[in-house]
Amino acid sequence: MNRSNPHSMGFGIRAVARATMVALFVTVAARPACAQMRDADPEASKALLAVIEAMRSKPIEVRERVVVSTVDGERRADAAPRTASWTIVPGRGAMAAFDGFRIRLADGVIRTVHESSDGLYHERKDDGSPYYGLLATFSDLPWPALALGLGEPIPEECAMQLHSRAPWLQPRSVETVEVNDRERLRIGLASDFEEMRIDVDPQTNLPIDAFVRIHDGIFVEDGIELEYAYAYEIEPLESTDEVLDMPIGARQRVDGAAALAKAAPRGGAERPRGGGLAVGRTAPDVDLPGVEGPGFELEAFRGKVVVLDFWATWCGPCRAALPALAELGAWGEANGLPLAVVAVNTSEQSRTLEARRARIQAFLAEQGPRIAGLKVVLDLDGAVAGAYRVRGLPTTVIIDADGRIVSVRTGFGPGSEERLRSDLLDLFEGGDPAAEAGEDDVV
């Protein structure tokens, strides 16, 4: 039986109702989903259920560390480790922290703040599921502990939530293994597209480590594999007093979590806590190949204002920002401004020039005329993003005509385009030329 939709299997009304969340990923993929979902093994499901119950039986603190690797034949590239922490209080809610975000999941509401800003917050209802509410907020959640602690209680449903890029997983095997002279219970999950193992302490039923491999399907291109290696530290929570407190005070509510990361302060010497080089610093050199035709070298554009936007195809806010960037470049050209807008593609799976060009060309073709004229270059190994201390995507950097950084903004949401244009107008004397000419005169 071919089951291409992982949430249409009849495992439960709530899982079916939330199938639309998986569609968020399917719609951005180049190839259709045609997974053969495998039947769950009863003993493996029973073992996974024991882990779910252990994660939810008493208050715990979880530290989850992951290293993501891209494998292309014999070539392998490991990303920098990422860490998430989860404080789970059964019956009350949870607190989470990753990538500079702090999230409160309680009382039917998901509230999010970011370390880079003391004045903003985002809030949304969880619609009965903290897991799916968080997925709708962040789009990509490679955190199995989230599903184990807060996902669906039925093991077959929870299996589909363990990794947001491996939504067809089902429990398939369970065995006792020995690692470093100690016994573990190993739960295996699989589909045609992906496989996973969770090693569990047989005394506590809590996870020790886990491994996910995605080798086919809509989330990897042909010939590429993604591997996720996890390690867990889990401790009982001694006190739950105030653990779920997240006072808002005078914070201003924003429309999306991506808008929480605060821009670098104008004229300040301090580097923003959310990432990015300090305003006033000389911009690091950029010399990158283009998708088609010539590449981009920053030094050659001295005397012009340059906008660098760091983005990736898998990043929803990045994709939303691209048409606005194309429009921004067209606005500068139409008004004779010394402005260059460059979209720097980074943090993709493919690391070779040929493979990346093919991937991005296909992506840009799908976007059509909405991004016509936008200059796109390829940061193959992430070196330029690293030099600019990019910590989140999209990150947009404005560089003045003398090669100094004047603005750093992370995220894209309502009002982002206006704020970016306002930053640029501060660099051009005479205000907005389009406003002076009148809308009817603007090309």
Partner residues linked to 305 by β-bridges: 339
CATH T-level assignment (fold) for domain 13-252 = outer membrane lipoprotein receptor (LolB), chain A (2.50.20)
One-letter amino acid identity for 406? V
Show the CA angle centred on residue 53, arms to residues 52 and 54, nearest 5°.
90
What is residue 57's predicted lDDT score, i.e. its pLDDT? Answer: 96
Domain ranges of the chain: 13-252, 261-441
Tens digit of each residue's pLDDT (9 = 90 or more) over 88-123: 999 999 999 988 889 999 999 999 998 877 789 999
What is residue 32's predicted lDDT score, i.e. its pLDDT? Answer: 41
Q: How far, in Å, are 90, 101, 261, 300, 408 from residue 277 at the CA level?
A: 41, 19, 14, 21, 8
Residues counted in the chain:
443
CATH number of 261-441: 3.40.30.10
Q: What is the largest CA-CA distance in the chain?
A: 77
One-letter amino acid identity for 194? E
CB-CB contact of 307 with 341 (8 Å) = yes
pTM confidence score: 0.58
Tens digit of each residue's pLDDT (9 = 90 or more) over 174-217: 999 999 899 999 999 999 999 999 999 999 999 999 999 999 87
CA dist 282 and 32 (Å) reads 45
Give the mean pLDDT of 58-84: 89
| CATH topology match: 13-252 vs 261-441 | no
Cis upstream peptide for 32 (omega within 30°): no
CA dist 180 and 188 (Å) reads 20
Q: How confident is the model at residue 429 (pLDDT cuts 50, 70, 90)?
A: low
Tens digit of each residue's pLDDT (9 = 90 or more) over 220-234: 777 889 999 999 999
* Percent of the chain at pLDDT exceeding 90: 46
Tens digit of each residue's pLDDT (9 = 90 or more) over 155-167: 999 999 999 888 8
CA dist 209 and 199 (Å) reads 5
CA dist 6 and 166 (Å) reads 10
Partner residues linked to 211 by β-bridges: 197, 229
